[in-house]
Structure 1
Amino acid sequence: MCYSAQIEADYRKYVRMFGAAMSLREFAQLYWEPGGRNLKTPMAMDAAFSDAQTDDERRIQTLIAEYHTQSTTKLEQELLKQRARLADAERILETKATKAAVESRRIATDKIDAAVRRLNDLKRTTLMDADSRIYPGWYAPVLIVQDGHRVVIPMRYRCRLPGWTEQMEREKPGTYNARRDSLKRVWAKLFGYNHGILIVNRFYENVERNGKNAVVQFDPSPPQPLLVACLWTRTAIPGEPDLWSFAAITDDPPPEVAAAGHDRCIVPIKPENLDAWLNPDPTNLAALYAILDDRERPYYEHRMAA
């Protein structure tokens, strides 16, 4: 289902590779916090604006800096809260080992560790591979065609289907995965209409190993950027910027992915099919299925993720 992927997070690569324009308005609105929205963006996407060249890019750079400042403040407050919770739990455990205190200590310890890691990440200036990794609910740059022009727009990796409310989305959180065998049913309002591309360098899947969950990393061989077929939608939300969201199309896996224990795989399309994919004809779905079938077929080497 593409539980996680290491993507090309720098919008400038899309601009150079595909002659696309960046949607400055959507990038700016992404970092604008009218309601304290909890954004999840890969650090590499934020860092792409660190050497801003234009006034618009510098405006986005300022918004990102403001967002990081807000995030730092929230994390520091969370640390204080969880350290107090941990101290209370340990005080209780000094006299009596209650189940509630043990659980409270565990939760507080986990949240402290997570907050410290995130604070350290916000202070880092050198990027790591993990800084380009996204998960469901995170934002990523997606290439689409809008008014006849290729545009890069930041979208959330979990699609809110047309007509869905936020509550409906919570009840069905798996819509980051658009199964090929359900495109005419579940995805009928998007397939043939709203097509996009996400550049993926590797992906990760949950598999079962000896009765336990494990994360396996899949790398295309030879190494190459994969133009992963996506479907997207734009949802109007009163009082907030529109929500742009997307899903990656998946299909039955190649033999090596299946042998590693997973039953789905992303669908990378060929560069020569890019225009036809981004400009779909809803009256000719057969041609779109043909593009998905005529996909890139690298060998996916795999290993346990670190």
Structure 2
Amino acid sequence: MKIAILGAGALGCAVGATLTEAGQEVWLLNRSATHVEAMRRDGLRVDDANGSRRVMVRATTDAAEAGAMDLVVVLVKSFHTDAAIRGALELLGPETLVLSLQNGLGHEDVLAEIVGHERVLAGKTYVGGVMRNPGHIESGVAGKTTYIGELDGRLTPRVMAIAETFNTAGLATTVSDNIVGTMWDKLLVNVATGALTSVTGLTYGQLYDEPLLKTTALAAVAEAMAVARAAGVKLATTHPEQAWTLAGEGLSPAFKTSMLQSLEKGSVTEIDFINGAVVRWGQRHGVPTPVNTTLVACIKGIERAMTDRQHKETTA
């Protein structure tokens, strides 16, 4: 299968390296010329529980170089979805499928508007990744499940074929007939840890050592579950503790959430598509979300301070 990873950052590289090592033709697309050049020159350095190795990957900043794909896996930051897919239309052939594995809610609608509803598949992954340097990642694939599905819940041959390809490569993948519920279940995991680690600057290990933060995390997840129930979403998660436990399961204590990684790199976060989505859906269905509203406000404040600081530095 010819596969493009659109947004080959830490997570995209972890997925892409695993598929590459299994013999699939995988192209890693990233806007960073430095990151891409490092991978083209030296291969992708992957650190995981088995040690450190270099994987010879195909990497580019130019979708035209890669050409038409069987599958495009979208892993760009939520707020870049529209621009990223519009800038990569050369990846689309007559039969190309587009699979979002992004955090949060709403990307499928953005993609469908551009590439057509019939091409779009949805999914969520619990695979982890941390960018150490250009061309160098820490990967957390083992024991982490990926869920994919048709937006209407049908178990089609095309989605089953993708799952088989992923599973053969060692990416444990399940086809869901309730992908909206699956996306909400993954959202609960992001709600549990992303904003809290970003406000505090803590790693997973540090976060899980603080009982007060666990209490706040469980409250945020409970709000999100109440919103989902009000919206008629069928969840597999039955208690907030499940999301809290799953969020850090199998990850090194030194791992950082993607939201915290974004702030440390000087980038805005995906808060609007995670805790912010809970707040919006809560407003829509009349469910109060004070904890998530507060977390969103805190992250927005951090982003504002960061942006102001960057502006001062560039104009000094």
TM class, shorter-length: under 0.3
Higher RCO (C-alpha 8 Å, min separation 6): 1
TM-score by length of 2: 0.26
| Higher alpha-carbon Rg | 1
Compare the two structures and name the one with the higher helix fraction. Answer: 2
Structure 1 length-normalised TM: 0.27
